Structure 1
Amino acid sequence: MSISVTEQLLLPDVSAAQSGDMRAFERLVARCQRSVSSIALAIVKDLDASEDIAQQVFIHIWQQLNTLQNPASFLPWVRQITRYLAFNYLRDNKLSSQLRGDEPDSILAAFASDTELTDDLAKAQQNRIMADFISRLPEDSREIVLLFYREEQNSQQVAELLGLSESNVRKKLQRVRELLKEQLLAKYGRLVLTTAPGLGLTSAICSALTLASPPVAAATASAAAASQSSWLGKITLLLSGAMLGALAGVVGVIAGMRQPIKRAASIEQKQQLITLRNRTIAWVISCGVLLTVSYEFTAGAWGPISAFTLFISGLFWANYRGWQLMLPQLKQQGTAAYRKKQLWCVFGLLLGYGAGFAGLIIGLSNSGRL
């Protein structure tokens, strides 16, 4: 069976990632994140949830990459995992944010001008209007329409990413154009494009991967390299491995703090957020060095576990401090919304830190340290 041009371009990075090449996998994330988040969004109809699912998808793929026997089947495999996790999320969470009456048209009026859309439209409104838009679409066309606008209206690219024929994509797009007014669809399309994931999501995923257990091939390669390392090799590793993860973490911190800093209510709050960002960056880099040193210059499990515990403690404090600084804006959304976000934040932190620690223990066990 012939494969598409997009699949051919992905093949070298899929094979390299299966051997433990993190940079190759990061390129796969960058190339596939729009299709993954669009598929998730078509199912859950929530922007934040779709990006959370995208992170889960790529972490799962990184850990299970060696179970993929045919690299040419990478895209169908990714789509299957995305839909499975999205439906699981939908089953476990009740999401409801549809608009009523003329409210969609009043919010869409913001798209008439050429001003920066993300400055004019709050994230909560984006979520609500996207949910309304997706609900208007035929169920079998939702993935196509979302990805079509996020891929800047390239129907061939959409067809290859979703494993469809281009004629099928064009036919379903035409059906949507007939169902919705062309002008209204164009305005919705601008919103879809502005909500497409970019460097921020890529960085967040790559940062999460530094705490996830690697594929079996990657763990084997690392063990072989360690057995052959000299003092010079250890110094080289000090500048790679965990340090590359730390640098990815730095990018994630910068991207994650960008919107809170931008939306600060006062100069004082903005300066406090900038200070918190800089301290968190310094902490991530320091812990990257410490974690690398603990692996390369200590035996057993106590060194890496101590370094990781210290790392998590600092991140927990940074998250808590950031929550405190943004508390006034969060409470403006209402008590119910505030409590819901608070619970999700705590759950996300516990889940992320727990998964990271579990990955560390599994890695230590596989390497014979534990």
Structure 2
Amino acid sequence: MKNIKKEIQRHLKLCNLAFFIVKDADVAKDIAQESWIIIIHKLETLQETSKFKSWAISIVNRRAIDWIRTNNRERIKLEKSFNESEKEDSFSKVDDTTAIKKVLLEAIEKLSVEHQMVLRLFYKESYSLKEISDLLQISIGTTKSRLFHAREKLKTKLKHSRHER
């Protein structure tokens, strides 16, 4: 029973280390679990048993950093894909015969990339707030805030454009 508690404590330490790096509890648990698999398979390669703790920590550390790198690559691909398809997308193919659509398009194009991205993912791609927050690696609160502020900016710009006519 004492050994089980000790192993649970070791596992929690590995989870905490991974969490410190990736800032996501579920991912940290997965990294710790994957690290244990690596540790078990590579245990015979460990030459000095006194260095087990630092060896295990280095494995978790590398796995967490690999996860961050992979995640960043995916985020960059998503942003590039968004920027490229933005040019070809229906935002830019809006039927210009309707004045309000043209004004709306211009207003959307004046928004920041973050606001445009949240608007597109929410309205065009029909992603949920949770899915958007996962894709962009931001909190749900930040996602809601960006969506709210994007809508408010659009409302303001559309009101001003009506008064100009």
TM norm. shorter chain > 0.5:
no
Q: Relative contact order: is structure 1 or structure 2 higher (C-alpha 8 Å, sep ≥ 6)?
A: 1
Under a length normalisation based on structure 2, what TM-score does the superposition of the two structures give? 0.42
| Structure with bigger gyration radius | 2
Under a length normalisation based on structure 1, what TM-score does the superposition of the two structures give? 0.20
